[in-house]
A = this chain, B = another copy of it.
Amino acid sequence: MSETHHHSGAKTPEQITADVLASFDGCTDDRLRELMQALVRHLHGFVSEVKLTPEEWTRAIQTLTRTGHITDEHRQEFVLWSDSLGASMLVDAIENTLPDGATESTVLGPFYVPGSPLRVYGANIAQEGGAGVPARVQGRVLDTSGAPIAGAELDVWQNGEDQLYAVQRPEAPEDHLRGRFFTREDGTYAFVAVRPVPYPIPYDGPVGDMLERTGRHPWRPAHIHMIIRADGYRALTTHIFDQASEYLDSDAVFAVKPSLMREFIAHGADDPATPEGITTDWVSVHNDLVLAPAAAAGNGSQPA
């Protein structure tokens, strides 16, 4: 063959990877260079290992495009990919090297809405009837020495018996099943919620298609969300999991930690401890929360 057709200049996959890595050598931001070069090594490692075909590449581009177009101010499908592929919990595990005794964190999830109303000790967060079985949630916020933290803020939100968060229902009262509470001088808090039920993550998009095609289910075990903030302590984003729930062993977003599981205890409507305004059978759950000091984090950084 003529010289114009020789292949001596053709690059191997390894040479292509080396060229792309070298293109970032001039990046003067050390952390960004580290991130980009590691991203390239792992991206190329994936493509090379599976010998990704042009057809599979095209489908990946289509899936990412669809993910981008389904994402808006009410839905974050990229976060759902991160959650459903366990990347969110991995970031959480790397970040949260906690001192002994501190309560563990778990995913924020896509349904948190800032600006919940401030409510008084013991108030009911259900703003509609029929939201579910009433659940009294109470406990203390403590430091790692066991001393109470007064004035800590608990920002709580949960789904109702219909599996939905208020933010998913345009017709629901905006402040249904959410609220903020401050601990009292002795570190105690209390509110009335409903017993949470399992629910599926949104499965009508690309993540749902992936779950279905790979034989995975979209369900999360029953839980109540909370963020606890107090001056001088690391903010804590966590759940209370109902230890009697289904799906504790197969949470679609891998967010269960055994230390966060709690028993919801049944009570009759005639129990003398029945909270004011409750006329039906109800449940109670006790949940102490232990905050790490702001400076004691494993790698020194502090979540918002």
Contact = CB atoms under 8 A, between A and B. Distances in A.
A185 to B, nearest CB: 21
Given A47-B90, A52-B91, A301-B53, A85 B20 contact: yes
A169 interface: no
A171 interface: no
A19 B101 contact: no
Interface residues of A, number: 95
A162 B32 CA distance: 33
Contacts of A56: 35
A5 B102 contact: yes
A24 B44 CA distance: 22
A7 B45 contact: no
A98 interface: yes
Interface stretch (A71-79, A120-128, A266-274): A71-79
Interface stretch (A173-181, A220-228, A257-265, A275-283): A257-265
A163 to B, nearest CB: 21
When all copies of this chain in the complex are counted, the total is 2
Contacts of A53: 91, 95, 299, 301
B26 A254 contact: no
Contacts of A69: 68, 71
A284 to B, nearest CB: 15
A29 to B, nearest CB: 7
Interface stretch (A129-137, A148-156, A193-201, A211-219): A211-219
A4 B40 contact: no
A69 to B, nearest CB: 6
B71 A50 contact: no
A27 B85 contact: no
Given A5-B101, A20-B85, 7 more contacts: A7-B101, A27-B216, A29-B214, A33-B214, A34-B50, A44-B87, A65-B71
What are the nearest 4 A-B pairs in CB distance? A68-B68, A9-B258, A20-B86, A1-B101
28 contacts: A1-B100, A1-B146, A4-B262, A4-B287, A5-B101, A7-B259, A9-B259, A12-B93, A13-B90, A13-B94, A16-B93, A17-B86, A23-B254, A26-B216, A32-B213, A38-B49, A45-B45, A51-B299, A53-B91, A54-B92, A57-B88, A61-B76, A61-B79, A64-B68, A65-B71, A65-B76, A67-B68, A68-B69
